[in-house]
Structure formats: C-alpha cells, structure tokens
Amino acid sequence: MTYPLSDIKIARQTKLKPIEDIGTKIGLPASALYHYGPYKAKLGLDYIAGLKSPADGKLILVTAISPTPAGEGKTTTTIGLGDALAQLNKKTLICLREPSLGPCFGMKGGATGGGYAQVAPMDEINLHFTGDFHAITSANNLLSAMLDNHIYWGNALGLDPSKISWRRVMDMNDRALRNIVVALDGNGLVREDGFDITVASEVMAIFCLARSLKDLEERLGRIVVGQNFTKASVDAKNLKAAPAMAALLRDAIQPNLVQTLEHTPAFVHGGPFANIAHGCNSLIATDTALKLADYVVTEAGFGADLGAEKFFNIKCRQAGLMPALAVIVATARALKMHGGATKENYTHEDLNALDAGLVNLLQHIENVQKFGLPVVVAINHFISDSEAETKAIQEACKKVGVNAHLCRHWEEGGKGALNLAQDVIALADSGKASFKPLYPNDLSLADKIRTVAREIYRAKDVDISATAQKKIKQYEAEGFGALPVCMAKTQYSFSANPELRGAPEGHIIPVRDVRLSAGAGFVVALCGDIMTMPGLPREPAANRIYVDDHGRIEGLF
C-alpha cells in the first residue's frame, strides 16, 4: 500500500468549517470567540472565567519513546486519537502546543501533525498564527530593555552587572547570538549577555502555567533578573516591569481555537520545548478544555523522560491536574534505530534490531507507571513496517501488561485509531489511575535532580558542578528549595550523550549549571551540552520554503 498524497496536498483538499461551527461542538457561543480570520479564533477570558462544570473531563496524555531521525509521530497520534474519540461520539477537545519558528525553519519543519491527522490551517499555525510568540518575545525583551535602562540611569537598585541572569530571546535558531556583549558605544554599562530561543524563556513558561491575567502579572513580577552588590535577588517587580509585560500578553493569553481535518476542536496555545523547558501547552487551555469536553487529549514534548516527566512533576503538581492515563507512541523503525539500525536500513525488516531497541519503549512504560497511571501504546504505522515487527512490539508490551495498538491515523484519519480510542476510553473510565508526582516538595533541589536521574534516566548518579552547587545553596537559602526541577537535557537519549540510544544504565548525568525560574515555579538544571539557543543545521528547512505564484507557502511540510 502506498500513501496517497503529501501532507500539504491533503490539507489543501480538505474544506474547513467556519470556526464558530467548531466552537458549537463544545458549546461555545459565537460571542465568546475573537476571530483571526474564518478558521482561527481566541476564546475570551471573561467567558472562561464564567465556565461552570459539574465535573472535569478525563485528561489523556500522549507521550513517546526517545526520538530518533526515523520519527515517532506524537502530534499526529494526538490528533488521530482525538478524531477517533470524536468518531465514537465522545465530546472531545485536543490541546497542543504552538510550533516554534526555530524548528520550522531548522531541522524539524512544521509541527501540526501529518497525513489525515492534522490541525489546520497548517501554514498559519506553523508560522505567525495569532502572534502569541511575538508577544512573548516582546514581553521578555521589554524586561531586558528596562533592566539595562535602569542601570543606564543610575542603577538605583544597585544591580551587579556581573550577576545579571536575565537573557534576551528570539523565536529563531541563531547560534551567533548565544553569547554577546551589549551597551557598546557608550549606551550604558558594557556587559556580557546572550539570547535564548523564545520557547526556552521563563516568560513562555509563566505564560503556560498562569491561570489568569492576575496570576500572570504576579508571576512575571517574581522573575529574578540578577543580584545587587549585597548579593540580594532583584526581580521584575523591583524594576516595575510586570504590569507592562502583562499588557503585552493580554490578548496572547487567550487560548487559540482551531480544528482538525475532521473538524474536531483543538486548542493550540503556548509552546515550551521539553528538552530545555517544561514542554506542555498552556494551563489555561487545558483547564478550559476539561470544563468543555468529556475527553481531553494533550501531548508533552519529546520522549516520556522529558515531556511526560515535566508534565507530571511540574504542570500537574502546580495545577492539581489528575491525568487518567498515558499513551506512549512508538514506531517500529524508531525502535530499530534504538537497537542499532542506521538511517540507511531502518525501513527494512530487522527483528534483531527491533528486539534490541524495545528496551527503550519498555523503560518509558515503566517510568510512566511510576506516576500511578495506566499506559497504552500506540504503534504509529509506516508503510515499511512488517507484520512480524508489529507483532513483536505487541507481544513485548503484553508481557508487561500493556496493550499496544497498530494505528493508521496518518493514512486513514480517526478511523485508523479507533481501536486505540476504545482502549483509551475503557482505561480513562476504569478509575485505575492513582496519580502522584515522583518526588515530594520538601526534598532538596539536588536530591530532586538525583531522583529524576536515577528513577527516569537510570543513571548511577549526577555530577553537579561547583557553580551549580553554589547556586542551589543560594536558591534554597532564599526559600526556593520547595520548587520542582526542570531537567534540560538531550532528547535523544536517557543519558546526557545523544549517541547512546536504547536504554543505557549506570551513566553519570553532568549538571553544569542551574537557573532559577521563580515566576514559573521551577529550577532548571542544565545537563551535558544542552543549549538554550539552538542552531540551524547545515541544510536548514528554510532553504526549501517559498511562496508560489498563487501566494501559497510551499516547502513547510
């Protein structure tokens, strides 16, 4: 069997419905929607504040095995599962993150699903969408500008330029901006600075964890920008920056409503990376979806060791969310790469490589179960998969008491994920979930880092640098010891070495630095060589993106 059309052709042959018709499916009146053209809208905060629900819907997390160049299809599976639940006449809402321009023009390309399991309009969602990321970038850089302006006009707060921790951001991969010098030519006090990508910023994290505009402003005020000469922390509230930052984010914080190709409603809102941030869509979108639908399908970025771990330990902990189950996405060809197959041969049947790579899936299953959740596996089908490979995955999962379903949603839309959806409904309604975070709040920051490394990554231990240890001691002395940790680590391996695939054990996780995100409510641990400003690959996707003679964007998918 061959797949019929490319993603872009599939998208263009699908007739979308007016966005108010999509809202009607989940009980939204037209007056609650702020239109951004015919197929996109924001949901007003006043309407959200007035929502009443006798009971929240069931929250379903879609996560995955450790990513490889072979691809896993987590977003595609999230959309396919949502469409399948809708086909089973379940009131369903999908919650996704907004794509970042960095990956769109870099290595990954667009991030709105694929085949017949997509959210639309794809080109608009993947590029500027409703301008949320631009607003987040501007709010972040307003704080940077106000900070340097404060120093320029006399530095009444006594900020120590050598202790400033706040960095500028942009939503693009640009390695040349990782480390820079600012205030040349007499425009202030010359100091070292740098850029992170917008999705790694604390403003993005705050945006995705705030429950209201008021909460947003309060969290923005708690951002620590550095220390003064007496070594006391200085925050955005001291700089009187939070109200203006919140003003820039007023419209952006309203959730974005779009639709799948099968017209299932979807909130696409917020977009932190899971390898360098907490990797989940906005809490406002998730909370709202749980009041509007019986089943809410959301995703967390990269593998379950990153996105799912942070979804559970950070988002669910802060918000009091109680997920019903987790779906782990796997592909035969990605598992073969974890077992030693190369890019040149992962499309060929290789049961030995598959068997060797299954340890990666099994470790992710065991990890998710540590949080007290039932698990189901979605085998995202590719044309090169053999029946023997699919059977081998299913049998391996069966041995640990987990069902694995072959899913063809890329090719067939929701119909291709009906078996998965039926199992998800049964598990969600079973009451088997007994969710709990991995570690308690009162554990020390170093022991929280160590717990994640040992329990999730199967590391022997962590090696926390002297710089990081000093900062941890300072954070705990200032009252931030109860915060959870956000591990920033390569997504390609359970270890800090991206070349170690499968399920390595007994390694050491090097923690070179830590960063306090007081407003977001966590401490970031930078592990190994992970960068908070990625670079473009040798042949970036931008080389293939253009506007055709009809004004249509090509090459994005």
CB of 301 closer than 8 Å to CB of 275? yes
Cα–Cα distance for residue pair 156/49, rounded to 1 Å: 40
105, 302, 371, 557: which one is catalytic? 302
**Pair of tokens at residue 173:** 């991969």
**Pair of tokens at residue 17:** 């419905």
Longest dimension (CA), the chain: 72
Look up 302 and say whether it is catalytic: yes
Cα–Cα distance for residue pair 369/284, rounded to 1 Å: 26
25, 42, 58, 97: which one is catalytic? 97
Would you say the C-alpha torsion 272, 278, 279, 284 has a positive or negative sign? negative
Cα–Cα distance for residue pair 279/75, rounded to 1 Å: 13
410, 480, 522, 557: which one is catalytic? 410
12, 14, 24, 108: which one is catalytic? 108
63, 68, 75, 76: which one is catalytic? 76
- What residue ranges in 269-357 does DSSP mark as E strands? 295-299, 325-330
Q: Is 59 exposed, middle or buried (0-12, 13-18, 19+ CB in 10 A)?
A: buried
Residue 222's closest CA among 247, 241, 209, 204? 241
Look up 97 and say whether it is catalytic: yes
Look up 205 and say whether it is catalytic: no
Would you say the C-alpha torsion 107, 110, 116, 119 has a positive or negative sign? positive
Look up 343 and say whether it is catalytic: no
Could you tell me the CA-to-CA distances from 505 to 304, 397, 424, 460 in Å, in that order?
Answer: 17, 21, 31, 7
Residue written as tokens 């049964």?
Answer: 426
74, 167, 222, 450: which one is catalytic? 74
By three-state DSSP, how is residue 425 classified?
helix
- Type and span of the H or E element at 103: helix 101-105
Reported residue count of the chain is 557
205, 274, 308, 468: which one is catalytic? 274
Look up 473 and say whether it is catalytic: no
Q: Point out the residues that are catalytic.
A: 74, 76, 97, 108, 274, 302, 382, 410
